[in-house]
Amino acid sequence: MGALLLIASFCLTLLLVRWLKSTPSRSLPLPPGPKRYPVIGSLLHVPVDLPWKTFHEWSKIYGDVVYVKIPHKKIVVLDSIEAVLDLFEKRSEIYSDRPQTVMNELMLVDRWCFPLIGYSSLWRSYRREFHQFFNQHQVHKYQPTQLRGCQVFLQRVLDSPSQLNQHILLLMRSMILKIVYDMNVTDLEDEFLRLANEGVEKITEAALPGRFWVEFAPILRHLPSWVPGASFKRYVEDLNPKMDELLDRPFYTVKRDYAAGTAGDSMAATLIHKLQSNEDVDKSQREYHTRNILGVAYAAGSDTSTAALQSFFIAMSLYPDIQTKAQKELDRIVGPGKLPTFEDYDRLVYIQAIILETLRWLPVSPLGLPHRVTRDDEYRGMLIPEGTTVIPNIWAILHNPEDYPEPYRFNPDRFIKNGSLNTSVRNPMNIALGFGRRICPGRWFIHSSLFITIASTLHTMDIFPDLGSDGNEFDPFTSENVYSGIKLTLGALPCTVTIRSDREPLIRDIAIS
């Protein structure tokens, strides 16, 4: 008995020593950051508008790992790719969680929107299901839909070029709706489309740090909606029924059509067939699960692609030399007598470089989605406490002059060397669309959508700046109307387009069934 106690004591001692070595000491210093005051911490310093720019200015003072304490929140901002890769990639097992905000809980998005769900078995099941449709080896199946959507887009621009931005919005949203639900939407005023756009916009707005005071004083969540200052409650009460309708209506329409044998080919029909064929599952729970995956596929895919395409049009209007160079490549490789197809991809190197530069130059989400560390961690001799929200400053990383000289200049040539893509230059696609286990699972679909649309646009159109009332060109880096919430959102595009005269017959001759 004494020997057993001795062995047990020895083993416990070893485990204790190992645990102590693996657990950062709370005596370690926190990362530096703006001045903290009693109770409110650094709340007075937290920016509401364009926070990525303020965060970057802080990095010049405190370094690339900045600590911010506000009521009920610990935040670390990472301002360099080195810090992001060290934590989100090399330590992904503890940096892949999501912070759960009061607004997310009230809006219930932490139940259905899997990009915002914590790192858990539920998240993994959502991600696995989504990945089977949008991984790198599957997205080629959607090329006919993407090509046809792009052709319809060209015809719409030909008929009404002054409505360019509306055509862009309709292009990406209708394309993903066709793939996900086999829905044919031809008008931005479609009731479902308006509902979806409003829902996505409100969720994004609520994610902006400091947008609602309830995040700093969670006890306010118990206020009735009629009390002054409870605008967040009214915001949620307006949104939640719309989000339920957004998720329910297309799903149950496909389910009804599937039962009647009239459902078309879609992601929804495939998942419903799988659900109906499996007798060993809780069907109500799986149905809820399936409904949510489909809703995220629409909301996330259309929003990111739309924003990136808007960024592209702004860039082309401001850099006519880039536009001309791309058109020469297209004329040489595709030829003036036909439209680009996906078969032209490998040879259109400059178009590929334009896609990369578009994602870098005006990133669709300057701060991405925040991560959360699940236990105390030591980094460079500093303590990052368990539960800290960790934010990657994607804007700063993509405008780092060491990686991208003259970072505010749109220059696709930075990605080309000896006629091929230069793999020694850091790929913006691996930054703009997330990191580690939380990287965007729809990135390959986004990339292929951008390719066919950008190639077809440059092959058939000329893009010009739309001068403002002061006679000056639009500057996306000084305008206050580029970003809404935490993503690129343009209500109007500051550019105009004309169809290249010899390309009009190509567009007119497209047969759209």
Say which CATH number the domain at 355 has: 1.10.630.10
The stretch 152-157 carries a mean pLDDT of: 95
Instruction: Check residue 301 and give its pLDDT.
Output: 65
Q: Is the pLDDT of residue 349 over 50?
A: yes
Q: How far is CA 34 from CA 65, 66, 81, 99, in A?
A: 12, 8, 21, 22
List, for residues 115-134, the tens digit of each pLDDT value: 888 999 989 999 999 999 99
Q: Positive or negative CA dihedral for 219, 224, 227, 230?
A: positive
Instruction: Check residue 58 and give its pLDDT.
Output: 96
Instruction: Check residue 12 and give its pLDDT.
Output: 45
Please check if 440 is assigned to a binding site.
Answer: yes
Neighbours of 20 (CB within 10 A): 9
- Answer yes or no: is 9 within a domain: no
Three-state SS annotation for 258-325: HHHCCCCCCHHHHHHHHHHHCCCCCHHHHHHHHHHHHHHHHHHHHHHHHHHHHHHHHHHHHCHHHHHH
Q: Positive or negative CA dihedral for 266, 273, 264, 288?
A: negative
Determine contact, residues 406/424, Cβ cutoff 8 Å. no
Mean pLDDT of the chain: 87
- Answer yes or no: is 355 within a domain: yes
Instruction: Check residue 281 and give its pLDDT.
Output: 63
Instruction: Check residue 11 and give its pLDDT.
Output: 39
The residue segments making up the domain with residue 150 are 27-508
Instruction: Name which of 91, 82, 90, 86 is nearest 376 in CA terms.
Output: 91
Rounded CA-CA distance 66/92 in Å is 19
Q: Is the pLDDT of residue 469 over 90?
A: no
List, for residues 163-191, the tens digit of each pLDDT value: 999 999 899 888 989 999 999 988 877 87
- Answer yes or no: is 11 within a domain: no
Residue 1 banded pLDDT, cuts 50, 70, 90: very low
- Name which of 19-33, 61-75, 184-198, 258-272 the model is least confident about: 19-33
Instruction: Check residue 366 and give its pLDDT.
Output: 93
Instruction: Check residue 232 and give its pLDDT.
Output: 85
**For residue 6, what is the enclosing H or E element?**
helix 2-22
- Answer yes or no: is 109 within a domain: yes
Rounded CA-CA distance 444/137 in Å is 9
Q: Is the pLDDT of residue 380 over 90?
A: yes
Rounded CA-CA distance 243/249 in Å is 10
Determine contact, residues 64/82, Cβ cutoff 8 Å. yes
Q: Which residues of 405-416 are buried (b: 16+ CB within 10 A; e: fewer)?
A: eebeebbbebbb
Instruction: Check residue 343 and give its pLDDT.
Output: 97
Instruction: Name 91's bridge partners.
Output: none
Rounded CA-CA distance 326/458 in Å is 7
Neighbours of 118 (CB within 10 A): 14
Instruction: Check residue 427 and give its pLDDT.
Output: 96
Residue 55 banded pLDDT, cuts 50, 70, 90: very high
- Name which of 141-155, 294-308, 337-351, 441-455 the model is least confident about: 294-308
- Answer yes or no: is 3 within a domain: no
Instruction: Check residue 471 and give its pLDDT.
Output: 66
The tokens for 138 are: 């599957």
DSSP string, 137-165: TTGGGGHHHHHHHHHHHHHHHHH-GGGHH
The stretch 22-27 carries a mean pLDDT of: 60
Q: Is the pLDDT of residue 416 over 80?
A: yes
Instruction: Check residue 7 and give its pLDDT.
Output: 41
Count up the domains in the chain and report the number: 1
Share of the chain above pLDDT 90, in %: 57
List, for residues 251-310, the tens digit of each pLDDT value: 999 999 999 999 999 999 999 998 887 766 667 788 888 898 898 887 766 778 889 999
DSSP string, 77-109: EE-SHHHHIIIIITTTTTS-B----HHHHHHTH
Q: Is the pLDDT of residue 25 over 70?
A: no
Rounded (10°) angle between helices 283-318 and 349-361: 100
- Answer yes or no: is 5 within a domain: no
The residue whose two tokens read 């301002």 is 79
Which residues 6+ apart lie within 8 Å of 26 measured at CB?
Answer: 376, 383
List, for residues 218-247, the tens digit of each pLDDT value: 888 888 888 887 888 888 888 888 888 888
List, for residues 130-139, the tens digit of each pLDDT value: 999 999 999 9
Rounded CA-CA distance 61/58 in Å is 5
The stretch 142-157 carries a mean pLDDT of: 95
Whole-angstrom Cα Rg for the chain: 25
- Answer yes or no: is 299 within a domain: yes
- Answer yes or no: is 2 within a domain: no
Instruction: Check residue 432 and give its pLDDT.
Output: 94
Our CA angle for 332, 137, 458, nearest 5°, is: 25
Q: Is the pLDDT of residue 13 over 60?
A: no
